[in-house]
Chains A and B, each alone.
Chain A
Amino acid sequence: MPADQSLPAVPAEVLVVGADLAGAGRADLLIRDGRFADPATAGAGAERIDADGLVALPGLVDLHTHLREPGREDAETVATGTAAAARGGFTAVLAMANTTPVTDTAEAAEHLAGVGLREGHAQVVPVGAVSKELAGEQLAELGLMARSSAAVRVFSDDGHCVADARLMRRALEYVRALDGVVAQHAQDPRLAGQDACCHEGELSGRLGLPGWPAVAESTIVARDVQLAELTRSRLHVCHVSTAETVDVLRWAKARGITVTAEVAPHHLLLTTDEVAGYDPTFKVNPPLRPQEHVTALRDALADGTLDAVATDHAPHARHDKEHAFGEAAFGMLGLETALAVVLETMVVPGRLGWPEVAARTSVTPAHIARLRGQGRPLTVGEPANLTLLDPAARGVVDRDRSASLSRNNPWHGRELPDPVVATFWAGRATFRRG
């Protein structure tokens, strides 16, 4: 583990001086015993961090991460994935269920939560599968997972779409009793064929790559929001990637349907043009789309139609990516660069202020996931989950300087903000810029 990832001895007190508290203005923060305390009571031995020019956000919460453990520890582990999360300013990650074995039982969920407690550099919250084995046929033991010590509230077959309408209806109905939410990976398998590997459009037609159209996503979302209305239950849409889906979400929210939605950083900046060189680094599900979709997603994140930014951090071993484009694994890394991309695409152009950034990256995700201790105000008494960032810092992304075990980084070589200065989880510094 890189040196800056080993957990340091916890200083008794940490005084953060003069940070801008999520846009509310500059103030001091005192961290003591895992919570924020009155800065005026800071002792002489407190560690002082000069935060002049820095912004303080509640610790970021990622609704969508793939930690790969258990099953693919060659690509990532709980330890390395959460180390990457801490570097990116995250204090909590929701770990998707498509591991080996799948997280579809209380035992599997508790196992993962336990590993997270022992080895994690951020809070690890297991996501439970909607269907057994992610097969899309029978409901998994949603209730037992919710009642377990892992307290699962978010259920998702991510990687696969819950395509059967009846199963989706049942799942939505069922989780209502658990204060749970069904997070859908919206991709109609009949419109997205087995070989489909990118956005279906002008570029894929020229390149001879089988793709799937935007409507493969939006038609599922259109169906699901109406099921959510019917069942009066909570729906969450994973990784929205199309303008069409944004239109459906606006319609649904206007009707008062309880739907939330997330967008991944790569869909805020990268377009399908990246695929022209057949580089599998840019192969991802949902795929990169043309510019008009990127524009629509930014507009929707600005006005809140998209509630949250979630990374869909998807590490892959080199031998899973170094194939022909059509055969390579889907997915990109994202934890360490997520905030940088949000700054670049939304803050720098003035689309979001710091309060909105805090909402999209921490407060709202925590609320969706029903995480009590996360996404809290930066006030005395609250758990000390804190991300300190320097909005002015920039750098060139180097994929080899990463806490992740994998290197499938689409930002390599790109000049972006490099904002995260320090991350505190439950009062403990999990990342410090060295």
Chain B
Amino acid sequence: MDAVDEHGEQSVQEASGLAETGTAASRLVMDADQIARACARMAHEVLEANRGADGLVVLGIPTRGVALAERLAAAMSEVEGVQIPVGSLDITLYRDDLRRHPTRVVGRSRLPAGVDDAVVVLVDDVLFSGRTVRAALDALGDLGRPQAVRLAVLVDRGHRELPVRADHVGKNLPTRADERVSVRLGEVDGVNEVTISPGPGEDSTGQNGTGQHSSRQNSTGDSPAGTDHPEERP
């Protein structure tokens, strides 16, 4: 049970209300400034690779991918002087692990424009197993036929289970598979930071008390519906 648990991880933190910044258990890997610079750099990279804004449609994967997408699109729009379409693409219904969990809440998809022949820039906060992106590609395929799809992520933490690669990365972050990476953004969480903390079953000394080998599993279980994607109410 490990499909798209980069989202699961964040939400477990969310649900437990833990604010682990700077505690002995977690360490800060990106602060607000670093995040802002990474976003600015990625925005320029996208424009550079695309030779401008033509055909770009920026789609964030809920929840925090949407905030990042809006930041990127805003930055690109300012540089180019044109409104770059930005929206959200919820991939819950395309997950490959739906039947392994209680019914998941579905997030909002808002397509600002058609994707046929567009250059779609998918934006997410953390790239981990790659299954979220695979689901997003399936969803896009049912929406139309983009000319190209690019992937921009704030954090690439490795441990790919599928052949997926990000085109634009805010920070490459080597991690152990059982560690938790948490991204918090001002639009959603009130603060901007990326932290990493030990996985479940580990105490602050880093020892894995349960001896779990396949420690992708959150011992609290990957979220029941409602806590996985903290809802933005329409």
Is A in direct contact with B (CB under 8 Å) within the complex? no
Taking Cβ atoms with an 8 Å cutoff, the residues of A that contact B are none
